[in-house]
Amino acid sequence: MRGGRAEKVRAMSLLSPPGPLVPADWLAEHLGRPGLVVLDASVGAYRGIRRPIPGSRTFDIDGALSDPADPLPHTMPGPEQFERELRALGVDDDSVVVAYDNAGIYSSARAWWMLRAMGFDRAAVLDGGLPVWEAAGLPLTEAGAEQEPVEPGTFTARPRAGLLVDRRAVDAALADPATTVLDARSRDRYTGRVEEPRPGLRRGHIPGAVNLPYLDLQVDGRMRPADELKARFAAVADGRERLVVSCGSGVTACVLALGAELAGYRDLAVYDGSWSEWGRPGDLPVTQGPDPE
């Protein structure tokens, strides 16, 4: 084993994230440590609007880390593609991964959930994302600097069934008295008061789904404390322990999955197609208006 790799392995054995959410000061303290991989998981208009964290690498949910054969946006790629892309990012099986995004906590939770769905548990989300990091005066890469090449990693995809589910699983969840289906979109989108941002989709929500906007889980860009998260989930879950979460395209649903994990829920699934699939013109039922009293 080469000296650099041996040093990396020794350092990794001493490093682990404190949980699924890490504060900016923890990341700043460990930045540059062997075995720590920082991923910029920004999507859409949020890509490239801020200078990145030094050493971070692009986790491209809009591109290479979505299934190119699926017409729906942000669909989870197959294990071979995912493994190839994570290795290209320098991720090893024993790495510690911290994902962030330029919006705060928006698409970084998607990266975290995708890693979990592929059997990798040494991942976390940067609390508050790049806005909090920048506001704290922490280091940023020089404008225009290119990402440095990295040594390919040894990441192995080990898919876990049931963490990302399809519409048939959502149908089953709606009929299951032990499961709550949650919708992470804004109240106006959930009720159908506004048009969907993606052209051609119907307005409204899945009948039986309950609204919990992902921004309700945050204060000033950071996730709420665990006790507040528990209260918010308890108010909509009605005592059910299994949660299936949905959103527009499977991205902010993962913020609900993160919040639910922090609140103590363990039986969680993300509807990968979300409203981009369910809301298409067709025979799937759609409801408009608020939840029934």
Task: Clarify whether residues 40 and 117 are in a common domain.
Answer: yes
pLDDT in tens, 123-154: 999 999 999 999 999 999 986 677 788 999 99
- Give the pLDDT band (50/70/90) at residue 91: very high
Q: Based on the fold, state whether residues 25 and 93 are members of the same structural domain.
A: yes
The closest alpha carbon to 27, from 185, 155, 139, belongs to: 139
Number of domains in the chain: 2
Phi, psi angle pair for 126, to nearest 5° = -75, 120
Looking at residues 2-17, what average pLDDT do you find? Answer: 59
For residues 169 and 209, membership in a common domain is answered with: yes
| Cβ neighbours of residue 166 closer than 8 Å, sequence gap 6 or more | 271, 272, 273
Does residue 208 belong to any structural domain of this protein? yes
Question: CB–CB of 238/212 below 8 Å?
Answer: no
Is 170 part of any domain?
A: yes
Question: Do 88 and 187 lie in a common domain?
Answer: no
**What DSSP letter does each residue of 154-198 carry, written as one string?**
-------TTSEE-HHHHHHHHT-TTEEEEE-S-HHHHHTSS--SS
Per-position DSSP letters for 1-13, written without gaps between them? --HHHHHHHHHHH
pLDDT computed for residue 146 by the predictor? 77
Residue 152 lies in a domain: no
Domain harbouring 206, CATH code:
3.40.250.10
Percent of the chain with pLDDT over 70: 94
Does this model's pTM top 0.85? My answer is yes
**Where in the sequence numbering do the catalytic residues fall?**
247
Q: What is the pLDDT of residue 1?
A: 42
**Does any domain span residue 233?**
yes
Query: Residue 127 is part of which domain span?
Result: 3-135
